[in-house]
Chain A
Amino acid sequence: MAAGEQRGARRRRPAGPPGEPRRVGYLYLLPALVVHALFLLFPLARGAWISLFDWDGLTLGRWVGWENYRALVADAGLRAAFGHVAVLLVFFSVLPIAVGLVLATALHRTRVRGLAFFRTALFLPQVVAMVVVGVAWRNIYAPNGSLNRALRSVGLDSWATSWLGDADTALVAVGFVGTWVQTGLAVVLFLGGIGRIPHESFEAARLDGAGVVWEFRAVVLPALRAEIGIAATLTTIAALRTFDLVYVMTPLGGPGRSTTVPAYEIYHRAFHSGQVGSAAALGVALTALTFLITMGIARITREERAR
């Protein structure tokens, strides 16, 4: 029976090499698929379903259809949360990419010695748990922390402030930590990309009398499209998903809720204020946004490259 099946399969697809296993593939795939379906795909669908109910997590939910989504759009607090993400985006994404481009170009021009050491050091923030990063920076930003001490030592006493306790500075202070974390990623990514540019491209630009800036624009930037796209995707998603950092550095959404972000709103609504349906709707929105950004950036970089 089994042999007959195999023969039949081979006749349909003559290109298949002899003895290639086919159906057993399902068996190899099964364990991974089962766990993935039960603990990822199913919750994803359940989340979408819950988002259509008004539910406090304890009593019976009430069907409200799209109401939770409509409320999300109308919610001023939530608009503020997404506004905060927009600010974080500058710090998590734009600044690291800009700094990374300049630094990687400079490092490539001057064949720096000890590059391995610098790379290890710059990439280090990527592997430290965000909670630890939060604690470390809380110390730095503390009223008596090293930042204020440094400011006072150069006579800028009036600049010293309670960075995380002030609604005007808390978000920027958290954002800067994002720059600290993501810059290494961008630098290492771009260094790899520049290393792959053929030497002749630089020579040709130089023969044409190109200066540093021109060389950067004509040679480096176009060659790094893919890497810039990857850096933008990774850092944008990191900004969008920020939770640990704000939760540790500025409890309860920060002074005057100035650092509340969507992920924090999901947590707070679902587990502290009994708005599970609303939290689920926000989760769905966050997922959709992540998908759109990933696809969008992938498409832009691919088109630019094809040009």
Chain B
Amino acid sequence: MRVSRLERVGTYLVLAVFTLSALFPVLSIVATALRPEVVGQGGWRPENLATAWTVGHFGGYLRNSAIVSVSVVLVSAVLSVLAGYALGTMRFRGRGVLFALLLLGIMVPSEALVVPLYFDLRDLGLTNTYLSLVLPQVAQSVAFGAFWMRAFFLASARELVEAARMDGAGHLRTLWSVLLPLARPAVITLVVLVFLWTWNEFMLALVMATDEGLRTAPLGLRFFAGRATTSVPVLAAGSVLVALPVVLLYLVLQRHFIRGMLDGAIKG
């Protein structure tokens, strides 16, 4: 397409403005995290990160987040693959209804679930446990995961599945050695998305984990930020620590993030 020189320059200018505005808050918090306590003292203070890790307890918060996120990712990936496999390649009575029930979970906002969940889990003595953070998030992730994997299995070559069956492969064998190797990109996208959601989840953690020792990273950051005595650079350093795992993963697996967040919605 041929466009005038003026339009070309204008486009780059507008693009530069928007890119800078997208990056500015991120870069400015990184800069704050590395600056000395008093503005204008000069020099970089990477030790702020260490201070946040130990004094700000972010080491513990990040560990909790890692435990919760990895558990949710592993369990929901396995359950989603199994469910998606059944929904995408097998025919059985009630398949449509069961799929619709799972789909329902994608649309229910967690804000609405948190209240009944809290009171029921409290009665079971499960609040303030990792389980109370993991299981509700598995339930929500599996709704999307089953839908996502079903779409993959539906699209993957039918002939392949049938050929495997003709060769005498059982259903488990077909899944494990024929379909799963092909499904790797879809599974990676699912894993990346569930990790993103779980790591960043806030309200559920706020309600379920009243114990300081169980706080996840975003929750820990919120409480650290709420203290009046908090040092601005250390708070920024804590923010960097909380955001870093997901941002690093995003930079490496960017395509999976974008595809998952957009295609996932498109197919819905």
Contact = CB atoms under 8 A, between A and B. Distances in A.
Question: Which of A29, A125, A266 is the most central at the interface, judged by chain B CB atoms within 10 Å of its CB?
Answer: A29
A192 B265 CA distance: 13
A7 interface: no
Contacts of A25: 86-87, 90-92, 95
Contacts of A244: 202-203, 218
Interface string A95-129: 00001000100111111100000111111111111
Interface in B206-243: 206-207, 217-219, 221-222, 225-226, 232, 235-236, 239, 242-243
B112 A284 contact: yes
A175 to B, nearest CB: 15
A184 B171 CA distance: 42
Contacts of B14: 103, 106
Interface string B10-41: 11101100110111011011001000000000
B119 A135 contact: no
B102 A121 contact: no
A112 B90 contact: no
Contacts, number: 293
A44 B22 contact: no
A230 interface: yes
B265 A180 contact: no
Interface in A1-53: 13, 16-29, 31-33, 35-44, 46-47, 50
Interface stretch (A63-71, A79-87, A151-159, A287-295): A287-295
Contacts of A88: none
Given A43-B120, A279-B115, A112 B135 contact: no
A interface residue count range (under 10 / 10 to 19 / 20 to 34 / 35 or more)? 35 or more
Contacts of B101: 33, 36-37, 41
Contact of B112 (A108, A122, A287): A287
Contact of A23 (B92, B120, B165): B92
A216 interface: no
Interface in A215-242: 226, 230, 233-234, 237, 240-241
B254 A22 contact: no
Given A121-B23, A122-B18, A139-B236, A243 B203 contact: yes
Contacts of A106: 7, 10-11, 14-15
Contacts of A247: 202, 206, 222
Contacts of A251: 226
Contact of B142 (A32, A118, A187, A234): A32
A185 B261 contact: yes
B178 interface: no
Interface string A187-218: 11100100000000010000000000000000
> Interface majority SS on B: helix, strand, loop or mixed?
helix
B162 interface: yes
A36 B86 contact: no
Given A128-B246, A136-B25, A44 B108 contact: yes
State the main secondary structure of chain A at its contact with B: helix
B203 to A, nearest CB: 5
Given A22-B92, A135-B221, A130 B200 contact: yes
Of the candidates A13, A25, A126, A137, the one having the most CB atoms from chain B within 10 angstroms of its own CB is A25
Contacts of B1: 108-109, 111, 202
18 contacts: A20-B91, A26-B92, A33-B102, A35-B142, A36-B142, A50-B115, A99-B18, A109-B11, A121-B19, A123-B254, A128-B26, A129-B202, A135-B29, A136-B239, A138-B225, A243-B111, A266-B114, A280-B115
Going nearest first, the 4 A-B pairs with the smallest beta carbon separation are A283-B112, A39-B139, A28-B86, A32-B83
Interface of B: 1, 3, 7-8, 10-12, 14-15, 18-19, 21-23, 25-26, 28-29, 32, 75, 78-80, 82-83, 85-87, 90-92, 95, 98, 101-102, 104-105, 107-109, 111-120, 135-136, 138-140, 142-143, 145-146, 162, 165-166, 171, 196, 199-200, 202-203, 206-207, 217-219, 221-222, 225-226, 232, 235-236, 239, 242-243, 246-247, 250-251, 254, 257-258, 261-262, 265-266
